[in-house]
Structure 1
Amino acid sequence: MPISPNSVTKTRQFLKCRLQTDMTNFHGFRTEWDHIRDLLFRTAEHGESNSALLLGPRGCGKTTLITSVLADLLPDQNFYRNTLVVYLNGYLHTDDRSALKSATAQMNLENAVDGKVFGSFAENLAFLLDCLKAGDKRKSKSVVFILEEFDLFCSHHNQTLLYNLFDVAQSAQAPICVIGITARLDVVELLEKRVKSRFSHRQIFILPPMNDFEGRIELFKKLLKLSTDKERKEYIKLHKPISVEALQNRELPLLRRVFNPNMYSFDSKYITQWNKHIDELASSPKVRTVMQNLYEYDVIEGTFKGWLFELVSQLSEDNTLITVESVQQLGQQFECDEKINMLCGLSVLELCLLIAMKHHSEIYDRDPFNFEMILTRYNKFANSSSTMQGIERSVILKAFEHIKHLELIAPVSGVTSKVQKEYQLQRLLLTYGQINQGVMRSQNLPTEISQWAQSSLV
């Protein structure tokens, strides 16, 4: 079936839009997602006050998780009418004054505070929350404070903003929920004692799985396949896209752009053909090899989406399908880092020592090693090799020291320096994929060494 240029253009637009703006379809971390949703729901429905920190490396999906929860809750009329969402970013709001000014604007209370003079930050915040109370003075609108780059707010003078927000949440003066988002896993240590005493110490970690390669393959297919009519209906039913009214009335940066698959329509035969091609692509050994190397290099979903975005951008009238060759070519650009180039310049002996380190790490789950351990493993190979026999111990030790000097391995922290250098514990700073790539790209390397690198008989 020939593919029309119009179909290719729409496919490219659809996939790029999904990769950039699909903030409601969150992948994985269901327990954490339910936990955040429960916190916000209890604040809105029952007037509870809560505080929590969402922690994880950059690109793992912390902001997407929050957006997905809000996109699920905002279509509920009770939540939408009774809850205000205030979004503050540590990069934008560099002091408490600008943060409070932005919060006032997002709560639509600029007219209420116009001309008023407050003695303190706490008095100003209390007035804002008091303005949200209903006529009977017992019910109040709930406020959800989302603090992006939470660690940067810790550098504000006296941490006044954090202290007052946590104080209101702890004392239940008004129903508020404070959610901090940060990549600093040690952020609690940055809090002053008085702030820390008012924080609930509820920490939710978003840590990408390190051994879920099949899950990465499924994500590859899920992000690149076109939505069928059945899936579109299920998407609407499960995710309840935010109403136009909600988008127009909310000045919330997180929700300004929400991906809607129903904006694009494709011929059913074309959808079947495209999805079948993606399945074949995902099952190709060459594609899986590229994906495995990428996964070993970086498990973060955000990085993977960026790679897919570049792959999709190559679609054109001349390139109507994503091919194995295009995947391999783009994969090489991401895989070819400075360390791999450095490995290509090492001597044969130094590469052999790195292969021995790789095998040791595979057997002992990346436990530290010393020179004597690696020498023993290397000698087992050298005794059966026609190439590496007869090398003196001092030469091997010098090669080991050179690897250490290049910072491909590093001493284990906390170990005393009084230990002889042959027995000092070291850690490998390379991934197995990097070592394999270095061996593959090294020219004039004996075949038996290349086979040893790929062998599981260690």
Structure 2
Amino acid sequence: MDGELDVAKACCRRVLRPLLHATWDRRSLPLVDSAFACAAFGVVDAADALRVLLGRTVVQGLSRSAIVVGPAHQARIAMIHALNLVDQGLGGSPSSYAVVHLSGLLHTSDGIALKTLSRQLHIEFEGGEFDVGMSSFRENMAYVLKVLRETSRINQPLIVVIDAFERFAQRPRQSLLYHLFDLAHHAAHQIAIIGITTHADVVSLLEHRVRSRFSNHRVVLRHQVPFDHLVHVLRRTLSLPGALPGCSRGFVDEFNAATETVFADGAVQGFLRAALERKWDMRRFFDAVAIAINRMPPTLLSTTHVMRCLRSLDVDPIDEIVFRLSPYQIALLVAMMHLEKRSICPYTFEMVYEEWRKFQNRDESRRTWRRQLFSKAFEQLIEANVVRVDSSGAGEGCMLANALKRFQQVMVVHEINDLRQRIVTHGERGKEYPTWLSEWIKADYAH
């Protein structure tokens, strides 16, 4: 029995592995696996749209730019599957084009990102070590242009994938995005620029000169799948094939029957429905399956065991909200906390932004952020129901349909001291806050 259980667990892990794939390494996610992952995450249509777009660059030599909007993990799966499909159309070889990757989380300035891009291009097209002495933005940009001109002559298309695209859009001047989109705007370069972001309104953050060079192509991923689809995929990851070497047919039938019983159980179905309503990321469900496999008891699956694994990943909804907040959203919330300490409530965007500006102006060396970034973050706080528009009648003129949003009076939905403590706790537990935000949070405690 123990030997059969080990074989069964190994089989389930093999099925689950493509769903937990967390890198851009396509060699470990071949076509059959990426197809399964796309179907599981419900991004088949998105992957096909990307295949068509990338095919126009790789096969037809046309320049393109696009934004993929949705969870980062699903976007990566869809993108890898699209590239696998392109490879299939080329006879299985990706050698006729190159793919390079940038990340707004890893490459914290345009200079760092451009130098990384130069290094990857050098490895892709020239081989050998990159000249680290070439460090200025202008030198690296000149090198990128040189490589692209040469690759155009030898018909070697380039695909640039930008993770956390919104981080680049939030930077002053947006120099790197301008240059990349400008390259894709001209037919002479065979290049596709694909930005990946969770922010549906990221294009509105782009400066006019950048937006004018963007192809305005968007691929929107679904954040969640229907309940029946979710149950089907979870059941699939915890089921064995009819004939499994190392396992008797009786064991396989018993194992699969236990899985059917678990996912037919009302408690399990109720939890899964509630988790979908709370907008669990799809990958969290698969993380729970991984836990269930690793900790599977000798008596096989049971409702109690699966529920325990699901609940181990069920975090407090307010904690989850705080974890997902961007630095600009947190900065605005801290400003609201300052105002509430002085019994100023409700407040408008103008009042909140002015409170932030007072802190920013204390140190002339502190970086100046564009007002538009905070305005957009303020709107997102309202949309996420972290703050709500005050409807008590105070400032009725601000509630008119044509009133400017920055004059709407709002209030924080959650208890302000609890929210403050959660923001601090997340910083202590490993959520990385920019230095300026950490200073702002400390200033709130000293205020």
TM-score relative to the length of structure 1: 0.59
Quote the residue 2:148 is aligned against. Answer: 129
Deviations 1:437-457 (A, max 9, x none): xxxxxxxxxxxxxxxxxxxxx
Partner of 1:26: 38
Say if 2:19 and 2:283, in contact at 8 Å, map to a contact too: no
Could you say which residue in structure 2 is the equivalent of 1:214? 228
Is the CA contact (8 Å cut-off) linking 2:166 and 2:197 kept in structure 1?
A: yes
- CA–CA distance in 2 between the matches of 1:409 and 1:155? 21
Of 12-21 and 121-130, deviating more is: 12-21
| Structure 1 SS opposite 2:192 | strand
1:290 equivalent to 2:271? Answer yes
Q: For structure 1, which segment, 153-162 or 116-125, has the greater mean C-alpha deviation from structure 2 after superposition? A: 116-125
Summarize the Cα distance change of 1:292–1:117 in structure 2 as closer, same or farther, 3 Å threshold: closer
Paired position in structure 2 for 1:92: 106
Aligned counterpart, 2:118: 104
Unaligned runs of 5+ residues in structure 1 are 230-263, 341-407, 420-425, 431-458
Structure 1 CA distance for aligned equivalents of residues 215 and 186 of structure 2: 11
Determine whether 1:417 maps to 2:394.
yes
The 5 Å alignment of 1:218-237 reads 218-227=232-241
For the 8 Å contact 1:96–1:161, the answer to whether it is kept is: yes
Paired position in structure 1 for 2:17: 17
* Cα distance in 1 for residues equivalent to 2:172 and 2:386: 41
Tell which deviates more after alignment, 115-124 or 288-297.
115-124
Equivalent position SS for 1:69: helix
| CA 268–172 in structure 1, closer or farther in 2 if over 3 Å, else same | farther
Match for residue 162 of structure 2 among 136, 139, 147: 147
AA of the residue aligned to 1:417: A
Match in the other structure for 1:70: 83
Structure 2: 5+ residue runs without aligned partners? 22-28, 320-384, 397-409, 415-447
Which amino acid is 2:174 matched to? Q
- CA separation in 2, counterparts of 1:79 and 1:9? 34
Q: Residues 190 and 413 of structure 1: is their aligned pair in 2 closer, same or farther, counting only changes over 3 Å?
A: farther
Q: Tell me, in whole angstroms, the C-alpha distance in 2 between the residues paired with 1:217 and 1:112.
A: 49
Distance in 1 (alpha carbons) for counterparts of 2:62 and 2:386: 51
Deviation per residue, 1:178-212 (Å, 9 max, x gap): 100011222112212111110011122113347x2
Whether the 8 Å CA contact 2:255–2:301 is kept in 1: the answer is: no
Q: Does 1:188 align with 2:203?
A: yes
**For 2:260, which of 274, 279, 288 is the aligned residue?**
279
The alpha-carbon deviation at position 409 of structure 1 amounts to: 10
Considering only aligned residues, what root-mean-square deviation do their CA atoms show, in Å?
Answer: 3.8
Q: Percent identity?
A: 23
SS where residue 222 of structure 2 aligns?
coil
How far is 1:42 from its partner? Answer: 1.4
Distance change >3 Å, CA 116–CA 57, structure 1 → 2: closer
C-alpha change, 1:96 and 1:334, in structure 2 (3 Å) is: closer
SS at match of 1:198: coil
Match of 1:6 in 2: 6
Answer 1 or 2: higher relative contact order, Cα 8 Å, separation at least 6: 1
* Residue type of the alignment partner of 1:188: V
Structure 1 residues 79 and 199, CA, compared in 2 at 3 Å: closer, same or farther? Answer: farther
The answer (yes or no) to whether the contact 1:12–1:313 under 8 Å persists in 2 is no
Distance 2:186 2:84 in 1: 29
Which moves more between the two structures, 33-42 or 279-288?
Answer: 279-288
1:423-442 equivalences under 5 Å are none
Q: Secondary structure, in 3 states, of the residue corresponding to 2:160?
A: strand
Matching of residue 176 in structure 1 with residue 195 in structure 2: no
Deviations 1:60-109 (A, max 9, x none): x1111112222333353476121101111112222233323332333323
Please tell me the residue identity of whatever aligns with 2:295: Q
Are the aligned partners of 1:50 and 1:170 in contact in 2 as well (CA < 8 Å)? yes
- CA distance 1:271–1:74, shift in 2 (3 Å): farther
Inter-partner Cα distance in structure 1 for 2:391 and 2:193: 38
| Residues 57/117 of structure 1: CA separation in 2 closer, same or farther (3 Å cut) | closer
Q: Residue type of the partner of 2:291?
A: E
Farther-moved stretch of structure 1 (213-222 vs 329-338): 329-338
Instruction: Kindly provide the amino acid, as one letter, of the partner of residue 176 in structure 2.
Output: L
Which deviates more from structure 2 when the two are superposed, residues 88-97 or residues 187-196? 88-97
Secondary structure class of the residue paired with 1:280: helix
Is the aligned partner of 1:201 residue 2:201? no
What is the count of residue pairs matched by the alignment?
316
Structure 1 residues 268 and 173: CA distance shift in structure 2, 3 A: farther
Question: Which residue in the other structure is 1:48 paired with?
Answer: 62
- TM-score scaled by length of structure 2: 0.61
1:187 alignment partner AA: V
Question: What SS class does the counterpart of residue 26 from structure 1 fall into?
Answer: helix
Contact 1:8 1:320 in 2 (8 A): no
Which deviations, in whole Å up to 9, do the C-alpha atoms of 1:237-291 show, x marking residues without a partner? xxxxxxxxxxxxxxxxxxxxxxxxxxx9654725444333322322222322222
SS of the aligned residue for 2:38 comes to coil
Q: Give the whole-Å Cα distance in 2 for the aligned partners of 1:411 and 1:300.
A: 24
1:7-60 deviation line (CA, Å, top 9, x unaligned): 25524643563542366121213322211110111111110111100112455x
Please state whether the residue corresponding to 1:174 is helix, strand or coil: coil
